[in-house]
Structure 1
């Protein structure tokens, strides 16, 4: 009995940590532990928010009868964790933030099934869209939302400052501040996939550079606010090839820059929209290639006309 209870507790802990790891698209418990360490080292409130949201979403998924395999992989908990992180980032009062976290995380879990079915029918992934939808529903009622930083003239960054800003971008994928948190996130991603870690670094660096060239605030760069959508987009598309990944990162930059001009709190919406656009584009390219294949086979199989054949 004691062994069974211990095993159940261990499985529950792994599920919780995988839910956190899925924030950076890694179904890995160690990745989740690295994100948790990043929050604990920088802001304990964020750690509580992520854990609270993930637990609420996973319990809601269990009550809704969702597939256990998906729950164990962290697919039902990570949007809840993100909803909690958003609540504690935008709401100053801890009690209000905690209440919103539980309600929002539960909402992401109940929204997930019908919304994911609709997206799958169109060949699209869920990403962090449930968190975005739920957060946008309550965010207009709050007055403590952060405003975008004002632009300052672009200046050349040193290697240390550049590295710090890029790592801070990785930290911002989980709403955490600072290069140390970003380094922990990078270690967690690399433990699951070195390819994905390289993609995340490349996406964060390219997106940050592009935003700076477009005149974005250097303060925003130092805080990691310029590169996190690029990092997430690269993570989502790195397995599709270099060109789709670069195209997705470029599109995420354009969308984030456009939203910043209007002062919209888009969070990870540029990542989600850029990923969806590239997924649709890849589907069209694949369909055209499949449609063209029979014609190519027919062309290759057609008999070669020889002089003797023409004479006959």
Structure 2
């Protein structure tokens, strides 16, 4: 009896950590633990928000009767974690942020099934889109929008600044900042898949350089705001080839720059829209030939789970 209870608690913990790991498209408990450590280093409030959101979403998925295998892989919890992080990031009051985090995370779980089914029919994955939809709904009511990024001349960056800025971009995948939390996130990705870590570094570096050439400030780079969408896009398109991946990253740069110009709180929307565009373009020849859509493109998070074995 005691052994069964211990095993059940261990399985629940691994599910929770995989939900966090799926934020960077890695269904790996160690990756999730690294993200949790990154939030604790940067701001323990972020860690609490992510855990609240992941728990709320996973409980809702169980109550809704979603597939147990998908829940264990973290597919039903990571948008809840992101919703919690968004609430913590945009709302200063702790009580209000906690309430919004739980409600939004629960809503992402209930939205997930019909929304992902509609996207699968078009050969697209859901990525962080449920979190984006819910956050955009409450954000005008509960928090002030993000300010447009200022444009200023960018001075030459030192090697240390380049390294710190790239790592900070990995921290920004979970609304954190600074190089050390970003290093923890990168270590977590590398532990799950060294190749994915390499592609993410390439994506973050390419996106950062492109943003700087477009006139983004060095302070934005230092905060990690220029690289995180590029890193996520590279992770999502890691199996599509280097040129396709770089094309997706370039599109995410354009979309993020446009959102910053108009002062829109884009968050990870550039990554989602850029990857959807590439997935749609990749499937157009298949539709023209009357071929069926490849199963591994139908569900983004499930595709990530098949690329990297779920840890024991």
1:157 match: 157
Q: Is 2:146 aligned against 1:143?
A: no
Deviating more after overlay: 146-155 vs 218-227: 146-155
> Deviation at 1:251?
0.3
2:75 match: 75
Aligned alpha-carbon RMSD (Å): 1.2
Q: Is 2:95 aligned against 1:95?
A: yes
CA–CA distance in structure 2, aligned partners of residues 269 and 241 of structure 1:
22
- Structure 1 residue ranges (4+ consecutive) displaced by more than 2 angstroms after TM superposition: 142-146, 285-291
2:255 match: 255
1:214 match: 214
**RCO higher in structure (CA 8 A, sep ≥6):** 2
2:301 match: none
- Secondary structure of 2:238's counterpart equals helix
- Contact in 1 for aligned 2:146/2:263 (Cα 8 Å): no
Give the count of matched residue pairs: 291
TM-score norm. by structure 2 comes to 0.91
Structure 2 gaps of 5+ residues are 292-312
1:32-67: CA deviations, max 9, x gaps? Answer: 000000001110000000000000000000000000
- Contact in 2 for aligned 1:149/1:219 (Cα 8 Å): no
1:309 match: none
Between Structure 1 and Structure 2, whose CA radius of gyration is higher?
1
For residues 169-188 of structure 1, the aligned pairs below 5 Å read 169-188=169-188
> Deviation at 1:149?
3.3
1:174-196: CA deviations, max 9, x gaps? Answer: 11110001100000000000110
TM-score norm. by structure 1 comes to 0.91
- Contact in 2 for aligned 1:92/1:144 (Cα 8 Å): no
1:109-168: CA deviations, max 9, x gaps? Answer: 000000000000000000000000000000001234331331221111111101100110
CA–CA distance in structure 2, aligned partners of residues 94 and 231 of structure 1:
30
Structure 1 gaps of 5+ residues are 292-312
CA–CA distance in structure 1, aligned partners of residues 259 and 92 of structure 2:
24
> Deviation at 1:288?
5.5
